[in-house]
Structures are given as C-alpha cells and as structure tokens.
C-alpha cells in the first residue's frame, strides 16, 4: 500500500462507517466517505455506482447493508472485491457479525478474492440503545424483545471503528479475522436496568416471543428484509454462542474495550433517553 494511502469508507452515515471516516480524517488521511445520499453515491444494489467511488482509492472499509447474513451477499461481496482490485484498492477491511454463520459465505468470498483482507466480527453495538433500533422503545419506557436471559458482551462502535482504522493502517492485520466484544456480558434486562438507574428514566424489559416481536415490527412499518434479519438474529444468533467476551480489541489496540456502564453514563448526559419524557 502507498505511503499516503487514499481511503474509501462505505456507510458514511452508519454507526461504524461514520466513525471510521472521522478517525481517518483526524489523522490527516485522504478519505472518501460514501452512502446512497452522498455525491458520488454508493448503493450495494446498483453496481453502476461502484466505479466512481473506487476510483483513485487504495484501501476500503466495508459495511454491507442490510447485513452479510442476507442471502446473495456473498456474490455481491465477490463482485465488489473484484471491482476494487481492478481499481487498485487491494486493502479491504470488512465488518461482519459475530456468530452469524450465514455471513461466513460473504467473508469467504472476500478472503478468496485476492484482496489483502481483514474481517472484524462484532457483537451487538452499545449504540443500538441510543442512536436507533432500540432507542424509541427505551424513550417510551419499555423494551420488549425475545432475548430471555442470554448474556451478550455488547461492544462500543467507537472501539470497532478504532480497530478498523488500526487494521487499515497496519499490514500485520492482513489475513486475520477478529471477534470484537465488550469487556463483560450482560442481558438486555441488565442494560435497561442500568439505563433506568443511571439516566433516572424508568425502562422496563419485557420478554416476548420472536413472533410477537415480528408482529410489532410489521405494525411499525419495518421492511420485510429487515424484519427477516432481526428474526434471524434473535432466533439463532442470540443463543449464547457469543456470550464469552474476547480479547481481540486488546490485541489490536493494546487497551481494554470501553465498558457498558461508562457508555451509559456518557449517553445519559446527552439527555437522549429523556426525549419522550420531556415531550
């Protein structure tokens, strides 16, 4: 890779893509961060948008929408990697989901593409609780999920982004697959209890079935593809397979990952969870 590599970051408005772009820019790098709403635009479903964003780039941070577990994502990743190599962007770091066996085909497609690849498999993000997905339910005071008592070592998207930047900049990470988790595993009920206590905003956790969750998402207007993905995550992936925290963030960064409590304390200061109460 050149001494002064030029980076392409996909998912410019997404949780990790936005943070990866910000961190690379802060380090003084040439960064092109794209999404469907940028100019030039990038759309996974429209390969005619790929060439403009890949031109004059040396390395790429890949986040796939809606998820690598979606059928057909392996073919899309293979096609994108081939196109990236044609443009000279050989270094590719891709975000994946920890424990998502359905995503392994897409990971393998990248590894077999000829790219200098690194795969980052992440647990559920802290930021699902304060940026989207679960936020409106927490603001309303009830989070109902088919999560039961399965613990999850939730992870900070900032830590993921910092790991992605480290992997993009250091060739020692080429060919590796990392599993990124937070330092400890807690249940969704534990998270709502922590938010209630720290933010002084009562939030109840209610255990429901996957079918009940799906019906609620349908009523909320959630697209079928996203609903199917959420069913998959809660019915198969959240079965305890990811409950053990890993040391991979420490291996990459030389420090411990951020704790959930620290995240909750910082997020509570913004008042994000009190929006509905104030309204």
* Total-model pTM: 0.94
Name the pLDDT band for 226 (thresholds 50, 70, 90): confident
Contact (CB, 8 A) for 88 and 81: no
Distance CA 273, CA 140 (A): 9
Neighbour count for residue 164 (Cβ, 10 Å): 30
Q: Give residue 105's pLDDT.
A: 96
Which residues pair with residue 144 across a beta bridge?
Answer: 206
Report d(CA 187, CA 198) in Å as an integer. 17
Query: For the CA atoms of 25, 250, 108, 98, what is the dihedral angle to 10 degrees?
Result: -100
pLDDT tens across 190-217, in order? 999 999 999 999 999 999 999 998 998 8
Q: Is 210 left (phi over 0), alpha (psi -120 to 50) or beta?
A: alpha
> Residue 96 has what pLDDT?
98
Region 182-191 average pLDDT: 97
| Other Cβ atoms closer than 10 A to 268 | 19
Residue 180 has pLDDT above 90, yes or no: yes
What local confidence, expressed as pLDDT, does residue 206 receive?
95
Q: Quick one: average pLDDT of 81-110?
A: 97
Q: Which residues in 138-263 belong to E strands, given as ranges?
A: 142-145, 177-180, 204-207
Q: Mean pLDDT of all residues in the chain? A: 94
Residue 116's H or E segment, with its range, is: strand 116-122
Is the domain covering 6-124+154-181+243-258 a CATH 3.40.50.720 domain?
Answer: yes
**Residue 276 has what pLDDT?**
52
Helical packing angle, 73-86 and 104-111, nearest 10° = 20
CA atoms within 13 A on the CB side of 242: 26
115-168 pLDDT tens trace? 999 999 999 999 999 998 899 999 999 999 999 899 999 999 999 999 999 999
Report the C-alpha gap between 248 and 189 in whole angstroms. 26
pLDDT of residue 278: 45
Per residue in 244-254, pLDDT tens? Answer: 999 999 999 99
Do 16 and 95 contact (CB within 8 A), yes or no? yes
Mean pLDDT within 48-57: 98
How far apart are the C-alpha atoms of 142 and 136, rounded to whole Å?
9
Task: Say whether pLDDT at 275 is over 70.
Answer: no
Omega of the bond leading into 267 within 30 degrees of 0 (cis): no
């Amino acid at each position: 890779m050149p001494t002064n590599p030029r980076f392409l970051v996909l998912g410019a408005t997404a949780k990790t893509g936005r943070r990866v772009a910000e961190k690379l820019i802060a380090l003084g790098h040439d960064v092109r961060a794209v999404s469907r709403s940028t100019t030039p635009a990038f759309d996974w479903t429209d390969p005619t948008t790929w060439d403009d964003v890949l031109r004059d780039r040396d390395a790429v941070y890949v986040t796939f929408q809606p998820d690598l577990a979606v059928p057909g994502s392996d073919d899309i990743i293979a096609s994108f990697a081939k196109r990236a190599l044609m443009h000279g962007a050989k270094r590719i770091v891709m975000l994946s989901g920890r424990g998502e066996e359905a995503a392994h085909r897409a990971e393998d497609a990248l590894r077999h593409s000829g790219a200098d690849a690194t795969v980052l498999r992440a647990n559920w993000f802290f930021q699902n609780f304060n940026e989207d997905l679960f936020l409106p339910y927490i603001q309303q005071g009830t989070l109902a999920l088919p999560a039961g008592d399965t613990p999850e070592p939730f992870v900070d998207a900032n830590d993921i982004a910092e790991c992605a930047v480290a992997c993009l900049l250091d060739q020692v990470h080429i060919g590796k697959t990392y599993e990124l988790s937070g330092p400890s595993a807690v249940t969704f009920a534990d998270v709502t209890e922590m938010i209630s206590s720290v933010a002084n905003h009562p939030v109840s956790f209610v255990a429901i079935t996957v079918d009940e969750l799906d019906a609620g998402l349908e009523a909320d207007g959630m697209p079928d593809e996203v609903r199917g993905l959420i069913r998959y995550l809660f019915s198969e992936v959240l079965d305890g397979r990811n409950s053990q925290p890993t040391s991979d963030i420490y291996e990459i960064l030389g420090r411990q990952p951020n704790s959930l409590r620290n995240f909750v304390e910082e997020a509570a200061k913004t008042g994000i969870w009190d929006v509905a109460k104030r309204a």
